[in-house]
Amino acid sequence: MPTTAAAPASGCPSAPLRQVAARLAAAYPIARTELEYSSAFELLVATVLSAQTTDQRVNAVTGELFSRWPDASALASADEDGLAALLRPLGMGPTRAHRIRSLAAQLLERHSGEVPEDQQALEALSGVGRKTALVVRGVWFGQDALAVDTHVMRLAARLGWTSSRDAQRVEKDVLAQRERETTDSAVPYTDGADLSLRLILHGRRVCTARAPQCGRCVLADLCPAAQEPDAPQALSVPAFLADLAARADGSATDGMQELLHRDEAALVDAPSMRHSAVLVLITGTSLVQARVLLHERGRTLRSQPGQFALPGGGVEPQDADAMATALREAREEVGLDPEQVQVLGAFAPVPMPHRGRLVTPVLAWASQQPPVSVVDPIEVERVVWVPLVGEGSLSELGRRGGGLLDGRSVGPLFDLPDDVLVWGLTAFILDAVLAGVGLPGWAQLTPTPQDADAPAPRGGRVLRAPQEIPAHLRR
Ligand code: SF4
């Protein structure tokens, strides 16, 4: 597992909360959310939509959303298909559309279209959890409400205010710290909402999950987890992978998880599924150099012969976790030495109900390509390194399209040089990797039905037309 600025061990002194709040107030004079809104209704809807995606992505759709459906009454009677199409860039458009339409209907029925100020009343609305309710109370109604997201949780741990990973417990611990200090001093009370908003800004800009920049942090002399300015960075993930790595540490709450949850309903059956893991090994110190490791499965295998896949397989009893599974399988399949790669974390498991599997993608990185080769020619036909950008790469639009099984869409497809055709779960994961490093994902690029009939582009600007998966790759 990666090393980062660790949370201080229990018993370590904690940073004085009031001083932290004062320093953050100086660094970020305006405590604000990065979501764009102009009413309580817009803030509530935008916050609900921000679950498992980024504020920037939400802002990109809410301008049109709120101009077409400016209040609860309009949104409650919106055409759900049209709404889902607008929300599609966020992923899970139909689910999000249904959620906010129900939310609007409930606002109309229970609160005459107004947003309530009360925590319980807010939490009773469709799609509104504790954090969303606290954001609305704090940001719009100016209440002393400390919303805990992944950044607040991480900062609170590093500053020594909590040792918990449970959001409600973290909230309680931070407020208890504030109470202790307020009792001891005449320094003004720290508003919970402002503290939360500033911790989030600081967590995004300075105290990031993977590479906290203690050397330029205004809290460095107060923080028990501060690294020495001259200390080597514990983790040297290249910049192009930083966001993706931050989403793979098990606490991800943004778009990457969602991209990989292809079918949330299928998670209901997760307990009965066989658990597997795959290794997403990316090499290179810049996006231009970046390559991902794939292999072609043995052509005589009974299951998925000739398909291109990430190294991986079923979890064995001796595996400590999914990361151990992915590394063990990669060693067995392509001879990868686990010492030569840095595991950055694991994404949320992806259900594959038709195969009865729950697959955890594990992200790893190495600055240079480690030696790999075919270990067992029955299992593996060949090993390939596929570039992320440039000619013949995963992001070349003329090589990207959709796969079809008898006319039914099976998601993204990559048709790469040397007869490397990638579809299915591997293609979903690679597509999510592209989105995670800031390149357009399939969901944003899929042509409209009329585009689908257009000629395939040459180095073009749109995806190629969907294509049927060849018969020999269907088993
Ligand atoms: S010193 Fe600042 S950047 Fe470093 S761990 Fe503490 S809060 Fe985070």
Neighbour-count burial for 395-411, b at 16+ CB within 10 Å, e otherwise = bbbbbbbbbbeeeeebb
Atom of ligand 1 nearest to the CA of 226: 1
Q: What is the share, in percent, of the chain residues with pLDDT greater than 70?
A: 83
Cα separations (Å) of 467 from 401, 402, 470?
8, 6, 9
Which of the residue ranges 244-258, 296-310, 454-468 has the most confident prediction, judged by mean pLDDT? 296-310
Bridge partner residues of 414 (DSSP):
400, 422
Neighbour-count burial for 81-118, b at 16+ CB within 10 Å, e otherwise = eebbebbbbbbbbebbbbbbbbbbbbbbeeeebebbee
The confidence score (pLDDT) of residue 435 equals 83
**Could you report the per-residue pLDDT of 425-450, keeping only the tens digit for each?**
899 899 889 888 888 777 666 554 44
- Cβ neighbours of residue 339 closer than 8 Å, sequence gap 6 or more: none
Q: Are 283 and 290 in contact (CB under 8 A)?
A: yes
β-pairing verdict for 291-297 and 308-309: antiparallel
- At position 5, the amino acid (one-letter code) is A
Q: Residue 112: how many CA atoms within 13 Å on its side-chain side?
A: 0
**Could you report the per-residue pLDDT of 281-293, keeping only the tens digit for each?**
999 999 999 999 9
The confidence score (pLDDT) of residue 5 equals 53
Distance 10 CA to ligand 1 centre (A): 17
Can you spell out the DSSP letters for 421-451?
EE-HHHHHHHHHHHHHTTSPPHHHHPPPHHH
Could you confirm whether 221 is annotated as catalytic? no
The class that CATH gives domain 1-235 is mainly alpha
Higher pLDDT, 472 or 75: 75
Bridge partner residues of 169 (DSSP):
none
Higher pLDDT, 62 or 354: 62
Q: Is 297 helix (H, G, I), strand (E, B) or coil?
A: strand
Distance CA 29, CA 172 (A): 25
Which of these is catalytic: 131, 191, 243, 254?
A: 131
Determine the straight-line distance between the first and last CA of the chain, rounded to whole angstroms: 35
Higher pLDDT, 263 or 19: 19
Neighbour-count burial for 361-371, b at 16+ CB within 10 Å, e otherwise = bbbbbbeeebe
Atom of ligand 1 nearest to the CA of 206: 3
β-pairing verdict for 408-416 and 400-405: antiparallel
Q: What is the share, in percent, of the chain residues with pLDDT greater than 90?
A: 43
Distance CA 257, CA 245 (A): 12
DSSP-derived secondary structure letter, 251: -
Across the range 304-322, mean pLDDT stands at 83
Which of these is catalytic: 149, 194, 254, 431?
A: 149
The structure tokens listed for 434 are: 């592209």
- Cβ neighbours of residue 50 closer than 8 Å, sequence gap 6 or more: 35, 58
- Cβ neighbours of residue 315 closer than 8 Å, sequence gap 6 or more: 274, 275, 276, 277, 322, 325
Name the CA radius of gyration of the chain, rounded: 24
Distance CA 287, CA 300 (A): 35
For 210, counting Cβ atoms within 10 Å of its Cβ (0-12 exposed, 13-18 middle, 19+ buried), the class is buried
Bridge partner residues of 279 (DSSP):
362
**Hey, which of 4, 20, 154, 206 would you mutate to test ligand 1's pocket, going by the most ligand atoms within 8 Å of its Cβ?**
206
The confidence score (pLDDT) of residue 359 equals 86
Could you confirm whether 149 is annotated as catalytic? yes
* pLDDT above 80: residue 268: no
- Ligand 1 atom 8 nearest Cα: 207
Residue 187 pLDDT level (bands cut at 50, 70, 90): low
Higher pLDDT, 228 or 130: 130
C-alpha angle 141/165/13, rounded to 5°? 95
Determine which of 17-21, 234-238, 309-313, 417-421 has the lowest per-residue pLDDT on average: 234-238
Distance CA 291, CA 240 (A): 12
Pick from 47, 83, 88: nearest CA to 440: 88
Fold equal for 1-235 and 242-473: no
**Could you report the per-residue pLDDT of 86-122, keeping only the tens digit for each?**
998 887 788 889 999 999 999 999 999 999 999 999 9
Distance 206 CA to ligand 1 centre (A): 8
Distance 47 CA to ligand 1 centre (A): 27
Residue ranges of the domains in the chain?
1-235, 242-473
The confidence score (pLDDT) of residue 289 equals 93
User: Could you tell me the CATH superfamily of domain 242-473?
Assistant: Nucleoside Triphosphate Pyrophosphohydrolase (3.90.79.10)
Distance CA 454, CA 35 (A): 37
The helix/strand count (H/E) of the chain reads as 17, 12
**Hey, which of 20, 205, 213, 217 would you mutate to test ligand 1's pocket, going by the most ligand atoms within 8 Å of its Cβ?**
217
**Could you report the per-residue pLDDT of 200-226, keeping only the tens digit for each?**
999 888 888 767 888 889 999 999 999
Higher pLDDT, 91 or 327: 327
* pLDDT above 70: residue 463: no
Atom of ligand 1 nearest to the CA of 224: 6
Give me the chain's average pLDDT, please.
83
Distance 155 CA to ligand 1 centre (A): 8
* pLDDT above 50: residue 155: yes
Task: Mark out the alpha helices in 124-191 (DSSP H runs).
Answer: 130-139, 150-158, 167-184
Atom of ligand 1 nearest to the CA of 217: 2
Distance 349 CA to ligand 1 centre (A): 30
Distance CA 399, CA 466 (A): 11
The confidence score (pLDDT) of residue 244 equals 84
* pLDDT above 70: residue 249: no
Pick from 398, 428, 402: nearest CA to 413: 402
Higher pLDDT, 433 or 182: 433
The structure tokens listed for 51 are: 């679950």
The confidence score (pLDDT) of residue 115 equals 97
The confidence score (pLDDT) of residue 188 equals 63
**Could you report the per-residue pLDDT of 333-392, keeping only the tens digit for each?**
999 988 788 888 777 777 777 777 888 888 999 989 999 999 888 889 999 999 999 889
Across the range 402-415, mean pLDDT stands at 83
